A = this chain, B = another copy of it.
Amino acid sequence: MKAVLDYLNTNEKRFVDELGEFLRFRSVSTQPRHRRDMAKCAEWLGRHCRSIGLEARVCPTAGHPVVWARTRLRPGRRPHFLIYGHYDVQPPEPFELWHSPPFEPTIRGRSLIARGAVDDKGQIFAHLKGVEAYHKTDTDLPCDLTFVIEGEEEVGSLSLPLFLRQHRRELRCDGVIISDGDMPAKNLPALTYGLRGVAAFEITLRGPSRDLHSGIFGGSVENPAMALCQLLGRMRDGKGRITVPGYYADVRPLTAAERRQFRRLPGSEESHRRSLGVPRLFGEAGFSSVERVTCRPTFEINGLTSGYQGDGSKTIVPAWARAKITLRLVPDQKPETVLQATIAHLKRLCPPTVRIEISDRRAAAPYLVDPSGAQARAAMRALRSAFGREPALMREGGSIPIVTDFKKLLGADTLLLGLALPNANIHAPDEQLDLDCFAAGQRMSALLWQELAGPG
């Protein structure tokens, strides 16, 4: 492994230049005018994979192509791991807030600034460089690797599930590795072993057949906006607990070891409060902010719509009121069960003076991998060696639906090994990759295959 790590060290500067080439492609998947840029970026990426000793194909889909690359077939049976990433990026707008052009990679201090620098071109590139080091130093890779690098992550990964289904035999693997997220701090790498799920729906309460004059009719008829406020208001008690019966039944309790891990994560409650700009934090009693956003389910109103919203006043009793709701779910909640219980509770509490409608139901499952399992421990060892720091175990509050697809379609758990620092400006102007994290990420990737599949 010394040769591999030396190679990475020696070629650090060149890797940054190559990443710069990758970052110059305006691979904005959501903007139709960049369709050709998307295709050119995928072609470049396929060629680059071949140049580092991988077999690569650029696979068309109904949307943007998937770049599929893998180590050459070799005799014998080895573990097989899949590395997932994406070459598409968020739109760069608003341009005026960038300090350098978003598609002209610029180095400032130890940061490489460009759209996509960290989300996700820089992170997937670290894994490619890890493989390159094995190949160029003729070091034996103890496993087979497949890269699946899609072009639609920023627009909902619409084509990917079908791609996985079509190639599930060749893609079947012993584990998936994703570097497309955060690490807590420059001196604190982490393995993310859990994600929240999400369930969404829209609720509409309908009262009178039309908006009514509040003078002529007000007082003799339920106001649907008031009914909605009272109904939704009852969904959460004064201690921040959701009141839907059975809501917490399947929530896996936090272990003492987990809570100890979370206390290692940087950031005080006060700095969290200040960064959000709120007068006081609020959440479920008995949990820290980190625990609340990663390990506890929520009931969030994402939007409210009713009656007159323009300037001045309009003296009406509105005909209807609507709210968009999302529930963040945690292991081991089942989205459909929770959704059903929540909707049943709303219907039970809805007064008979209005009609209730539920629409736009959607759900994605939460995710949890055993942090004391063999693969998680292997990943922790790789992180420790690569960063020279004791890594943390963490969970994330967001949802990555594709992880559930990997489990379902390929039978594999996912290791989430994010390389983005909290100040990486993901989806924002001046997106930046820390070059030390980039280099450590390459080492981590190279070490990971030894830890996961090596003789050790």
Task: List chain A positions with a Cβ less than 8 A from chain B.
Answer: 196, 198, 200, 202, 207-210, 212-223, 225-226, 228-230, 232-236, 272, 276-284, 289, 292-293, 296-309, 312-318, 321, 323-324, 326, 328, 351-355, 360, 362, 396-399
Complex formed: what's the CA distance from A312 to B47 in Å? 38
Q: Are B313 and A218 in contact (CB under 8 A)?
A: no
Please indicate the chain B residues that have their CB under 8 angstroms from the CB of A215 in the complex: 196, 198, 328, 396-399
- For A208, the chain B residues whose CB sits under 8 A away are 276-278
CA distance A293 to B218 in the complex (A): 6
Bound together, the chains give a CA A281 to CA B218 distance in angstroms of 11
- Chain A to chain B contacts (Cβ below 8 Å), 25 pairs: A207-B278, A208-B277, A210-B277, A215-B398, A216-B398, A217-B276, A217-B293, A217-B397, A218-B298, A219-B283, A226-B235, A226-B236, A226-B301, A233-B234, A279-B353, A279-B355, A302-B316, A302-B317, A303-B308, A303-B318, A305-B305, A305-B309, A307-B324, A309-B324, A313-B326
A300, B218: Cβ atoms closer than 8 Å: yes
- Distance in Å: Cβ of A279 to nearest Cβ of chain B: 6
Other contacts beyond A279-B354, A302-B315, A312-B360: 10, CB < 8 A: A209-B277, A214-B302, A215-B328, A216-B396, A220-B283, A229-B229, A278-B353, A302-B316, A302-B317, A313-B324
Chain B: which residue is nearest A211 at the CB level?
B302
Give Cα A234–Cα B233 distance, bound, in whole angstroms.
9
User: Within the assembled complex, what's the spacing in Å between the Cα atoms of A217 and B292?
Assistant: 9
Task: Report yes or no: A216 in contact with B293, Cβ–Cβ below 8 A.
Answer: yes
Q: A302-B316, A307-B303 are in contact. Are A397 and B219 (CB under 8 A)?
A: yes
Shortest beta-carbon distance from A290 to chain B in Å? 8
Report A399 CB to chain B, min CB distance, Å. Answer: 6
Among B207, B213, B309, which residue has its beta carbon within 8 angstroms of that of A303? B309
Within the complex, which residue of B236, B299, B302, B321 is in contact with A313, where a contact is CB–CB below 8 Å?
B302
Chain B residues in 8 Å Cβ range of A328:
214-215, 218-219
Q: Which residues of B contact A200 (CB under 8 A)?
A: 313, 315
Contact A301 B229 (CB under 8 A): yes
* Residues on the B chain within 8 Å of A235, using CB: 226
